[in-house]
């Protein structure tokens, strides 16, 4: 099978966009919600009240351990 490159390559399209006054900028994304599970068996399931309370207690204990400057 013979591969013939197309006349419009990605580099050409990008250059045409930039020539018309387009700009490339880095996009911003939102952080993931803390209460979403990320393991395979709980993907997309939110934490229960008890689990949220346990996580908050751990965060509070960790914050109390940090020395203040």
**How do the domains of the chain map onto residue ranges?**
30-69
User: Is 70 exceeded by the pLDDT of residue 4?
Assistant: yes
Mean per-residue pLDDT, 37-62:
80
pLDDT of residue 24: 81
Q: Taking all residues of the chain, what is their mean pLDDT, rounded to a whole number?
A: 80
Lowest mean pLDDT among 11-20, 26-35, 48-57: 26-35
Q: Report the predicted TM-score, pTM, of the whole model to 2 decimal places.
A: 0.42
Q: Which residue has better confidence, 57 or 5?
A: 57
| Cβ 52 vs Cβ 35: under 8 Å | yes
DSSP for 11-66 reads HHHHHHHHHTT--------PPPPTTB--SGGGTTPBPPHHHHHHHHHHHHHHHHHS
Q: How confident is the model at residue 60 (pLDDT cuts 50, 70, 90)?
A: very high
């Amino acid at each position: 099978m013979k591969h013939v490159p197309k006349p419009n390559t990605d580099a050409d399209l990008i250059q045409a966009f930039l020539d018309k006054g387009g700009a490339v900028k880095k996009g911003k994304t939102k952080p993931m919600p803390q209460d979403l599970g990320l393991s395979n068996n709980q993907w997309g399931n939110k934490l229960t009240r008890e689990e949220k309370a346990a996580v908050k207690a751990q965060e509070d204990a960790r914050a109390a351990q940090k020395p203040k400057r």
